[in-house]
Amino acid sequence: MSDVLTLPLPDDMHLHLRDGAMLEAVAPISAQRFGRAIIMPNLVPPVVTGAQALAYRDRILAAIGPDTGFTPLMTLYLTETTEPEDVAQAAADGLIHAVKLYPAGATTNSASGVRDFDKVRGVLERMAAIGLPLCVHGEVTDPEVDIFDREAVFIERVLDPIRQATPGLRVVMEHVTTAEGIAYIANSPADLAGTITTHHLILNRNHLLVGGIRPHYYCLPVAKRERHREALVAAATGGDPRYFLGTDSAPHLDAAKETGCGCAGCFTALNTLECLAQVFDAAGALDHLAGFATGHGAAFYGLSAPSGQVVLERRAEAAVWPAKLDTGAGPVTVFDPGFPVFWHRV
């Protein structure tokens, strides 16, 4: 196996860039490492109209500066008052590439999400008609459901009924974390795909909880048992085009993570590709990394092949990254995989 790996410039099909000072700090990092990214709309207030998506895209482009070549692929936040024709017009105008479904209360800034799914049926039917993908945060929020079971219950109670009631709807089950989620995608038609994060390929719930709570490993959906992580690795490294990279890189200030009620999210944008190369190398699947990191997602979203390339080199010494990213609002901790990574960007 060669110690040099040349890959198409990767796409990040699930990315949080935030706004304000945080956007100014984190957007250039993703722009240096990815060619395109599906941008999450859960700002405060959320991005719910085409005009808001356009304004947010302009702020992103201003933050990354000219001549980077990075393309932010915008999305709209689905609410119970979203109008089908507004979504269709934003898609026709090229302003959006997907709509994001957050069950209300499921994760960061999801209070405006959906509680009554019958109220968004008209939007979903219009999306199915025009082929616009729905990206879903796949967890129920019923307090009686154990947090480690919320993805599997979401599939049964919410996702499968939506798909059965809306034939042809293209769905991305984002940040899949369970063997049940992987199996559901594997046994579904090609209009269902799933993103897998870098950190869920690396972490199980022991990493989060054993020996003390590690707030910078806390994310939603929360990391699960080791058998689930193994299922994610098998899916990501197996070459199946229904699975592709969505980092869900979600920066929070350390002060918001290291507190009595810490925010959910891992900031992985800085070192995702190197960590992925280590995971795929350990699985003997480096030949499938290009598809997972670029090809599969681009095909599902109907995007052209990327024009750029990135070169990785395996070295004897481990890669080193800064532990913190300084922002105008305070420090953000960079994801630590917890093992040495020997792949370096050249």
Q: What is the pLDDT of residues 91-122, one digit of tens each?
A: 999 999 999 999 876 666 566 778 888 899 99
User: Do 192 and 241 meet the contact criterion of CB atoms below 8 Å apart?
Assistant: no
Give the whole-angstrom CA distance, residue 286 versus residue 276.
9
Average pLDDT of span 36-45: 96
In the structure, what pLDDT confidence band is assigned to residue 260 with cuts at 50, 70 and 90? very high
> What pLDDT was estimated at residue 103?
84
**Distance of CA 46 to CAs 156, 178, 333, Å?**
28, 28, 25
Task: Calculate mean pLDDT across residues 44-57.
Answer: 96
State in Å, rounded, how far the first CA of the chain is from the last one.
18
pLDDT in tens, 129-160: 999 999 999 999 899 999 999 999 999 999 99
Q: Which of 191, 213, 338, 270 has the alpha carbon at shortest distance from 29?
A: 270
All structural domains of the chain: 11-270 (3.20.20.140)
Q: Note the pLDDT of residue 105.
A: 67
Pair 101, 65: CB distance under 8 Å:
no
pLDDT, tens digit, 9 for 90 and up, residues 63-89 = 999 889 999 999 999 999 999 999 999
**Residue in 103, 17, 15 with CA at minimum distance from that of residue 56:** 17
Alpha helices by DSSP H, the chain: 20-33, 50-64, 84-92, 121-130, 150-154, 160-165, 179-186, 198-202, 205-209, 226-237, 254-257, 272-282, 289-290, 296-301
State pLDDT tens for residues 291-314: 999 999 999 999 999 889 999 999
Q: Residue 248 catalytic?
A: yes
Mean pLDDT to the nearest integer, 242-255: 98
CA distance 230 to 238: 12
Quote the pLDDT of residue 106: 65
Measured distance CA(252)–CA(341) in Å, rounded? 24
Catalytic residue among 160, 248, 287, 336: 248
Q: What angle do CA 177, 299, 4 make, to 5 degrees?
A: 80
What is the edge-to-edge ordering of all strands in the sheet holding 309-314?
4-8, 309-314, 343-345
- Average pLDDT taken over every residue of the chain: 96
Burial 258-274 (b: 16+ CB within 10 A, else e): eeeebbbbbbbbbbbbb
Tokens of 50: 């085409």
Three-state secondary structure readout of 132-173: CCEEEECCCCCCCCCHHHHHHHHHHHHHHHHHHHCCCCCEEE
Residues in contact with 127: Cβ distance below 8 Å, sequence separation at least 6, in sequence order:
84, 87, 99, 133, 134, 169, 170
pLDDT value of residue 137: 94
pLDDT tens by residue, 182-232: 999 999 999 999 999 999 999 999 999 999 999 999 999 999 999 999 999
Task: Give the separation between CA 201 and CA 182, rounded to whole angstroms.
Answer: 13
Q: Which helix (H) or strand (E) holds 14?
A: strand 11-15
Reduced to 3 states (helix: H, G, I; strand: E, B; else coil), residue 75 is: strand
CB 262 within 8 A of CB 242: no
